[in-house]
Amino acid sequence: MREKLRSIIEDNTSKKGKVFDYFIQVLIFLSLTAFTIETLPNNSVKTINILKNFELICVIIFSIEYVLRIFVSKNPFKYIFSFYGMIDFLAIFPFYLQGAYDLKALRAFRIFRVFRALKLIRYNKALNRFHIAANIVKEEVILFLVITSIFIFIASSGIYFFENKAQPEIFTSVIHSGWWAVVTLTTVGYGDVYPITIGGKIFTFFILLIGVGIVTIPAGLVASALSKAREIEEDNDKNK
């Protein structure tokens, strides 16, 4: 029985497997649509009740799917703590948490229902290339994040020393200056925090130049890795 269920749940090349996948995908879309409608103001009592009942149905089906995936998995713990396992869990646990506790603060966990959208990643074959690409550029990305963190610290420290005396309420410390550093290095420039001293403006100019490189480097890495991933995928298809 486990092998039959595995062929349906994990093998989407079979007819039953495709039906199962399409059913879950449609249910995810409907669940997200219901969640969106639920946020509308002035919903009627009838609409609210319908949405609650539909949410209950979705949670039951997603819970059954989650349990079945654990059951058919060759390594249950590996699935539970995998990316997809965590997403499947986050898609259902807010409902049970809400049922167990009637605290207003815990209602915030309902936002995790949007993670059901990430369940769709499992059903997109093309996204497998991102997994391959991530493995290709893993070391480069880690190095890039480390360098970016260093630049954020340097930018935060630099603007603090230039602007602290002129704007002590904004650039109170290096930590408070971190927001300016992030916004400037990413070239977003919200304009809510900006330098007013000559030294601060000159420093900002150089940080903006560095920020242009910080924005473009990841795009180049990902594009190159995805191209390599496509080549690997095509080679694997030829060898089959």
Q: Per residue in 104-157, pLDDT tens?
A: 444 455 556 566 666 666 666 666 677 778 788 888 888 888 988 999 999 999
Q: Which pLDDT belongs to residue 135? A: 82
**154, 185 in Cβ contact below 8 A?**
no
pLDDT at 44: 93
DSSP SS3 for 22: helix
Question: Mean pLDDT, the chain, as a whole number?
Answer: 82
Using DSSP's 3-state secondary structure scheme, residue 99 falls into: helix
Amino acid occupying residue 40:
L
Which contiguous run of DSSP H or E holds residue 69? helix 45-72
pLDDT at site 103: 43
More reliable by pLDDT, 178 or 21: 178
Q: What is the pLDDT of residue 117?
A: 67
Determine what percent of the chain is predicted with pLDDT higher than 90.
30
Mean pLDDT, rounded, for 3-19: 81
Which tokens belong to 12? 């989407």
Q: Is the predicted pLDDT of residue 29 greater than 70, yes or no?
A: yes
Neighbours of 146 (CB within 10 A): 10
pLDDT at 107: 46
Q: What is d(CA 131, CA 38) in angstroms, rounded to the nearest whole number?
A: 34
- Distance between CA 82 and CA 104 in Å, rounded? 30
Kindly state the tokens that stand for 174: 């290096």
pLDDT of residue 17: 82
pLDDT digits (tens, 9 = 90+) for 185-214: 888 878 888 999 999 999 999 999 888 888
Is the whole model's pTM more than 0.75, yes or no? Answer: no
Q: Which residues contact 197 (CB under 8 A, 6 or more apart)?
A: 162, 163, 166
Which residue segments constitute the domains of the chain, with CATH numbers given?
A: 2-123 (1.20.120.350), 135-239 (1.10.287.70)
Residue 129: the pLDDT is: 74
